[in-house]
Structure formats: C-alpha cells, structure tokens
Amino acid sequence: MHEKKKRKGGGMPIIQVENLTKVFGKNTKQALKLMNEGLSKNEILEKTGSTVGVNRASFSVEAGEIFVIMGLSGSGKSTLVRLINRLIEPTQGSILIDGEDLSKMDKKALRKIRREKLSMVFQRFALFPHRTILENAEFGLEIQNVDKTERKERARKALELVGLNGYIQQTPSQLSGGMQQRVGLARALANDPEVLLMDEAFSALDPLIRKEMQDELIDLQASMKKTIIFITHDLDEALRLGDRIALMKDGAIVQIGTPEEILVNPANDYVEKFVEDVDRTKILTAHHIMKRPEAVNIEKHGPRVALERMQKEGISSILVVDSQRNLKGYVTADDASDAKKNNIRDLNEILKTDIKKVEKDTTMHEIFNVINGSPIPVAVVEDEKLAGIIVRGAVIAALAGDSEVNMEHA
Amino acid sequence: MLKLMSQIPIADYTDTFTKKITNAFSFLFDPIKEHFGNMMDFTSSSLSAIPPVVVIIIVAILAFFLSGKKFGLAVFSIVGLWLIHNQELWDKLMDTFTLVLISSLLSVIIGVPIGIWMSKSSIVEAICKPILDFMQTMPAFVYLIPAVAFFGIGMVPGVFASLIFATPPTVRFTNLGIRQVSKELVEASEAFGSTGAQKLFKVELPMARQTIMAGINQTVMLSLSMVVIASMIGAPGLGRDVLSALQRASVGSGFVAGIGIVILAIIIDRFTQTANNKNKD
C-alpha cells in the first residue's frame, strides 16, 4: 500500500507553498522580525499584540495526491487552507499553482484561479439555504456564466457522482448532515477543479457517516485523480486519507511525511505525543509485528527433527513448508512425539492443515479476529510463501506501544 | 462657572443655514414640489376614482392569498375598510395611503443602498450610525419646519419629513441583515470566484431578505405615524381630521379618524409581515 501510494505522486508539484505566513493584528512588521528570530507564538503575542496565524509554512503538493494538514484547533490549519486560495491575504510568502504565483495576482486573475482550479468544501457545509440542491451544485458554474442547460447538466453529473441524484429539488435543510456535505462536495466537483480544498469537511459528521464519506472520498479520488488538500484535527482521519500528512503546531509545520513516517519516526516530542493516542491497530500490519518463523521442511525433515526443533525453541507446534517455502501446515509436539514412538517417518501423516494465515499487509485490527481462539501462532504469508509468524505476545506488545516491534520494516 | 461663554446662537445659525439652502436650491426644490405634487395628486385621485367596493374586494382577495388561504385578515380588511367608508372617510384614507405608499417607497429606494454601503464599509457604518440615531430621536415635529421652508405646505413636505423620520430602520436592518450572513456562506461564494456584485445579489441579499423586510415593515409603520403628524403642515388625509378634532376638542370625530388610522395601520402591517413570513417557508 505504501509503495503504491508513492508511485501515484511522482509528477510535478501542482501547488507549491513557500514561506507562507499570516500575522493577524497591526504590528505585523515587528512580529515578522521576531518570528525570524525564532520567538514563539506566545512571546510574539506578548511583545507586539499580533497573533501569528501561520508561521513560514512551506510544502508542495503533487498532482493526484491527498495531502492532509493536521493539527489541533488553533494550530493555524484553517488559516493555512484559506491562505492557499487567498480567502485570507498572506502577510508574506508565495503560493504557486501550476507555476503561477497566487499571492501576486490581481483580483481578476485570482477569481479565474478560484473558478477554474481551486474548489473548497467547508466544515459546516456552507450550502445556500435559499437554493435547491441542484442550484447549490451549479453555483460555481453559474457565477462563471456557464450556459444554463450546460451547467444544470454538469451539476447533475456531480450530484450523481456523490450519490444524490434523487434529491436535486430539495433544499439543504431537508437533508441530513452527511447528505449536505455530499452536496458541498458536488458543488466543488461541478467546476471540475484541479485541486479540492477540504476544510475539516467531515468533522461535523457523526463517526459512522464520517467513515463512509472518507471511503467515498478515497474512491472518488482514485477515479477522478483530483489533488486534495484535506484539513483535519483527527489523526485517525489523517492516517486513513493522507498520502502525506503535514502536522501543524502554533502556526508552523512540525513534520511532513507519509502516515507511517509520522507514526514510526515522530520528528519531536509534540508529534510523538500526538500519535501516542492513535489507534495503532489500524496502522500497524502483520509485517510490523511478525517474527522470523521456525519451520521444518516437509521434503527433508521427519517428526524427529520437528520434535527436536520444538524442544529447542520451547514451543508446542511448528510450521511446515516445502523447499520453495510454500506453507503446508503445521505439526504439534504431541503428534510428533507419537509419530516418533510409532516410527513414522513422513511428516505428511501427522500434518495439520487448519492453519490460520494472514497476508503481510493485514492490519492488526483484523489479526485480532484471526488470532483470537487460535492455539497456535498465526502464519504470515506472501504469495503463499511463509514470511513470518505472529505470536500473541507480539500483538499485545505492539498494542502497548512497545518499541521492540519491528519498526525497521516500515 | 458654567458661564464660560455667552450663548452660542445655534438657533440663529440653523435659521440662516436653512434659508441659504432654501435659496440656493430653490431651482431644485421648486420643480420637485411642482412635479412631485402633481404626481401624488394624480395617484391619490386615481385611487379615489376606483369604486370603494372594488378596492375592498381586491384587498380582501390579496389578504386571503397572502396569509396562506386563511380568512382572518381578509375578514378584518372587509369589515375595517367598510367601516371607514361608512364613516365617510374614504377619500381621506386614500390620501393617507398615497402619502404612506410614496414615502415608504422612497425610503426603501434610498435606504437599502445606503444600508448595503454601510455593511460593506466599517467607516461608512461609523459615520452613518450617529446620523441615523439623530434622525430617529429628533422629535418628528422638528422636521416639519425645514420641510415647509423647502417645499411650502401640502403633500410634498409631508413626504419629505416622513422620509427623514422613517428611512433609518430600513438602513439599519439592511446593514444588520447583510452583516449577519454567515461567514462561511460569504467565504463559499468568494471561494468559487464570485465578483462583489454576484456575492451581493446571489448570496447576501437573499440571505438578508428577512431582516431587510422587517426593517421595511418598520419604515412603513413609521411613515404612517409621520403622515398623521404631517397634517400640521397641510398634508391631507386622516391626520387632518385628528388635528381639527384636537383643535375643537371634539372627542367623537377625533376617535373616528383615529380608528381609521388604526385600521389602515393594521392592514398594512399584516400585509408586509405575512408577505415576509410566507416567503420564509
């Protein structure tokens, strides 16, 4: 999954943000100076009375990427996304979209970019209550003076994409929160923009609907190849959606990286604290917690060797593979011992095949269900070849955040 | 201690100022008085020319449909208007109605754009707010004096005085309504690349409509009250009956004319309010 995402980017950056800064208040020059001297947000507020909204943020977003900007409330993430389409005027810095600097544009050029390249989805949906669903979806086209029949057609298509074709004549207040945000998404998609800016788009939805919307966004993104900048305060959401995540604190970006990089190598204490509470079961996979497997080769070894190995390792069962490391099954110590007494030479006679297998990229969340009630360790396979085993102890250690988990695989 | 200086001749200054204005702008005031007066006479005489029965029926039908097919307002309109006709106050009612209609229309035409301007600029708001306070708190009678100086007596100065007195609510409510439009909606319209005009007409005004309509309702009611006071400078209508009853201490005819004004007020108020509420649903 990790590798696949990396390949998806690859192109040139569609958005390049350089040194982007917003200071609210009157004494911006002084505040900028103090900021460059490295003073904290609080110190600058104390000295100048100005609030640092965004502190010299730099990042680039590649075409087709879901770039998540995450931070707690007050970290400046909503300001940052509004700086990108200049709903808020930046104090300094530049925003390049397809190589054009948005921060230097006049109003007319800015409008053109907003109409054609950037669409926004809002936290509280921001639907127009006096317009029907269809009229809401066609808003972006209407203000571009697109011909009436064409814009209705395009709005209808966008609504179909988000699964709302049956509701076009309703008004927003007649729809549930999840459906309202679908309209918000359709309104943004109807313009056919290159970049979607989503400001805490799913934060106002209840958890089940939120998850559903996240899945749909991932599907939509996969089929439409839009670039998405997604703002959230929810780490789980960030990890689910993000190809890359930028973590913000006090207006500054603390770390940018793939979800795994952030989880596995937190840049500083703040990030570490942030990811401490994350539900690791959804991020860590079999790959992270498996151990090198003990196995016997069915083509070379008999019950005697199997029993010796088990005694040496202090285990009560052992996996059985063939010469190509294809997983065949397992044998237990009791059976091997009986076989030894009865002079059975072939492991096939005592081989058990009801073994539980998981793939390398199975999440721990799913491994729970498999390992539960299984007396023997779970085998991890890759293309039917044995890659490792998972013992219960490793699962518990990983849950506890134990550092002995095989993070070097990440 | 308070005698820091001799009395400042504010009254004299105002007199001179008004006189100067009257002279300087007579080229403007005179034609306004003439043409505007003719127009209002024409309006009121054409209203009076319609047979009262027809007016009553039209009002009742409008009332019925505006209030969502309920009979209350329609029945009240029929009975109320019939009573006014019965008291032989019909022509005066038409005069008063003309005054209210014209002065409210002018108030809205002037007030809404000013309100929009105020909502767009905090400087304009800061300047306009005290002026609006002044306009509303100055006793209404005071406006009658320059009105007479500018336009003589009759309907036109009545409209002028009522304009000054009744416009502020429309301005205030328009400003308030637009400023109250949720920030996210304004952001949404901007984020999709609206021009200022598109934002105003497609988002802000529709969203503020309710509030603006409440302001207009206030304006209409204030201009009705002013129209009565304007009878002191010769504006025709029901107010003139109230005034003459006052001068002759005749309780009966004063009461009858007063009832006429109340009926008109209720009908106008309910009409503007129900029209507003109906659109809400």
Classify residue A75 by its DSSP letter. S
CA distance A54 to A20: 7
Does residue B11 sit within a domain? no
CATH class of A286-409: alpha beta
pLDDT for residue B279 = 54
CA distance A235 to A72: 10
B198 interaction partners in chain A (CB closer than 8 Å): 143
A82 interaction partners in chain B (CB closer than 8 Å): 187
Segments forming the whole domain that contains residue B268: 21-50+87-280
pLDDT for residue A348 = 83
CA A164 to chain centre: 26
pLDDT for residue B71 = 86
| Band (B193; pLDDT cuts 50, 70, 90) | very high
Residues 6 or more apart whose Cβ sits within 8 Å of residue A178: A205, A209, A212, A213
Closest Cα in chain B to A184: B188
- Res B101 pLDDT > 50: yes
Would you call A126 and B194 a contact, using CB atoms and an 8 Å cutoff? Answer: no
CA distance B55 to B78: 10
CA distance B60 to A148: 39
Cβ A298 vs Cβ A348: under 8 Å? yes
Does residue B76 sit within a domain? no
Would you call B182 and A126 a contact, using CB atoms and an 8 Å cutoff? Answer: yes
pLDDT for residue A297 = 85
Cβ B163 vs Cβ B156: under 8 Å? no
**Which CATH number does the domain housing residue B117 bear?**
1.10.3720.10
Q: Which two tokens stand for residue A294?
A: 């003990």
**Average pLDDT estimate for B95-113:** 93
- Res B106 pLDDT > 60: yes
**Average pLDDT estimate for B140-167:** 88
CA distance A332 to A338: 10
**Average pLDDT estimate for B92-105:** 91
Does residue B224 sit within a domain? yes
pLDDT for residue A27 = 83
Closest CA of chain B from A126, distance in Å: 5
B197 interaction partners in chain A (CB closer than 8 Å): none
A85 contact B CB<8A: yes
CATH 3.10.580.10 intervals, chain A? 286-409
Does residue B82 sit within a domain? no
Would you call A128 and B192 a contact, using CB atoms and an 8 Å cutoff? Answer: no
Location of structure tokens 């010796």: A308
Using N-to-C axis directions, what is the helix angle for A392-399 and A364-371, rounded to 10°? 140
Phi, psi of B44 (to 5 degrees): -70, -35
Classify residue A173 by its DSSP letter. G
How much of chain B, in percent, has pLDDT values that exceed 70? Answer: 98
pLDDT for residue B110 = 96
pLDDT for residue B131 = 95
pLDDT for residue A356 = 82
Q: Give the nearest partner residue to A126 out of B185, B194, B198, using CB atoms.
A: B185
Long-range contacts of the stretch A45-50 (C-beta < 8 A, 24+):
A49/A25, A50/A23, A50/A24, A50/A25, A50/A26
CA distance A252 to A246: 10
Per-chain mean pLDDT for chain B: 89
pLDDT for residue A7 = 39
Closest CA of chain B from A143, distance in Å: 6
Location of structure tokens 């009375």: A49
pLDDT for residue A364 = 77
pLDDT for residue B3 = 74
pLDDT for residue A87 = 93
A143 interaction partners in chain B (CB closer than 8 Å): 189, 192-195, 198, 202
Would you call B192 and A126 a contact, using CB atoms and an 8 Å cutoff? Answer: no
pLDDT for residue B1 = 62
Would you call B185 and A128 a contact, using CB atoms and an 8 Å cutoff? Answer: yes
Most A CBs within 10 Å, among B183, B192, B204, B276, to test the A interface = B192
ipTM score for this prediction: 0.76
Residues B256-280 have pLDDT tens digits of 999 999 999 999 998 888 777 655 4
CATH code linked to domain A2-117+196-278: 3.40.50.300
A59 contact B CB<8A: no
Would you call A118 and B185 a contact, using CB atoms and an 8 Å cutoff? Answer: no
Q: Which two tokens stand for residue B264?
A: 């008109």
CA distance A329 to B200: 72
Q: Give the nearest partner residue to B191 out of A112, A120, A124, using CB atoms.
A: A120
Does residue B66 sit within a domain? no
Provide the domain count of chain B.
1
B182 interaction partners in chain A (CB closer than 8 Å): 124, 126
Most B CBs within 10 Å, among A81, A143, A194, A198, to test the B interface = A143
A129 contact B CB<8A: yes
| Chain A to chain B Cβ contacts (< 8 Å) | 61
Q: Which residues pair with A229 in a beta bridge?
A: A67, A197
- Res B281 pLDDT > 70: no
Residue segments in chain A with a per-residue pLDDT below the cut of 50: 1-10, 402-410
Residues B24-36 have pLDDT tens digits of 888 888 888 888 8
Q: Give the nearest partner residue to A111 out of B184, B195, B202, using CB atoms.
A: B195
CA distance A202 to B177: 29
Residues A296-316 have pLDDT tens digits of 888 888 888 888 888 888 888
